[in-house]
Amino acid sequence: MSTSMPVQILLKDKLPEITDMIVQSYQDLGTINHLGYCPLPSMNEVIEIVEDLKELLYPGYKKRQNLHLGNIEYHVGDLVDSLCERMIIQICRALRHLDMKEGINVCNDGHEHDYENLATRIVIDFFETIPAIRKLLATDVQAAFDGDPAAKGTDEIIFCYPGLEAVTVHRLAHELYKADVPYIPRMMAEWSHARTGIDIHPGAQIGPSYCIDHGTGVVIGETCIIHGNVKVYQGVTLGALSFPKDENGAIIRGAKRHPTIGEGTVIYANATILGGDTHIGAYSVIGASVSLSKSVPASTVVTIDKPSLRFREAS
């Protein structure tokens, strides 16, 4: 007991000092803390919203079982009602925070911006796209099944394939990105990235029948355009060649920085395609480990020379 007393006294003396140091850092480094009465979007709530949106996209496969035509309308109606309310709250927070970052005092009473009305219109428009998203996802599921002899059926694709998981979240996030919702699309994308190892920026434009096989390490940049019936394998990067800068050395944002991939192209493992001016012509094949920063015409096969292998007897 006597040997522990000095440690306890040290803790009692030091902990308030440590607390003061940490709190002081909040004043000194205000760019990485948010202190105030206007709450930020909640990562946990955004994740729960995405999980419930997948209930709408793939009914019967996710949380709720025993759905049929007799109860599906009630189930969907109840889910949409809950999702709308929760999404409006999160989008309001995101919109308000963006204005606050731009110097608008948004939390005072009588502020002119009606965030709730704007968020409500965004959410209504978003839910009207759900049938179209489901049509796209049906083509993605079929493309994954058609391209993988190991798949026993489309149910297996929906249950198990990380490529479909990543594309599903992307198609949802992309609609919110197009509606200029701040923060939340990236939150969705980064959560999906952590789960699947597939990094798709919500701004990327992806056509129907898109298949990511295996998927780990795939990176797809914000301004990438991918046409229909494209298939990519693990480790593929569709990235930026360089970042243009203004006269002050600051990155110019919004420029086309990532490649365009033509209809029916196949890109094999660990290939890298870079640059906003790089166009891969339709029905091309980009071989494994190829690195490209220039355009190729349609129906082109691009490979690297096979490396020379040396065999010797093991010692």
* Domain ranges (residues) in the chain: 34-197, 204-245+252-304
Measured distance CA(232)–CA(214) in Å, rounded? 9
Name the DSSP letter for residue 203.
Answer: T
> Model-level pTM?
0.91
Q: Which CATH number fits domain 204-245+252-304: 2.130.10.10, 2.160.10.10, 2.30.30.140, 2.40.50.140?
A: 2.160.10.10
Half-sphere exposure of 208 (CA within 13 A, CB side): 8
Residues 251, 243 contacting (CB under 8 angstroms): yes
Judged by average pLDDT, the poorest of 80-94, 153-167, 239-253 is 239-253
Tokens 């006269």 locate to: 247
Tens of pLDDT, residue by residue over 228-272, are: 999 999 999 999 987 777 778 787 787 899 999 999 999 999 999
Dump the DSSP string for 27-71.
HHTGGG---SSSPPPPHHHHHHHHHHHHHHHSTTTSS--S--TTT
Which CATH architecture fits 34-197?
A: Orthogonal Bundle (1.10)
- At residue 1, does pLDDT exceed 50? no
State phi, psi for 258 to the nearest 5 degrees.
-120, 160
For residue 279, the surrounding DSSP H or E stretch is strand 279-280
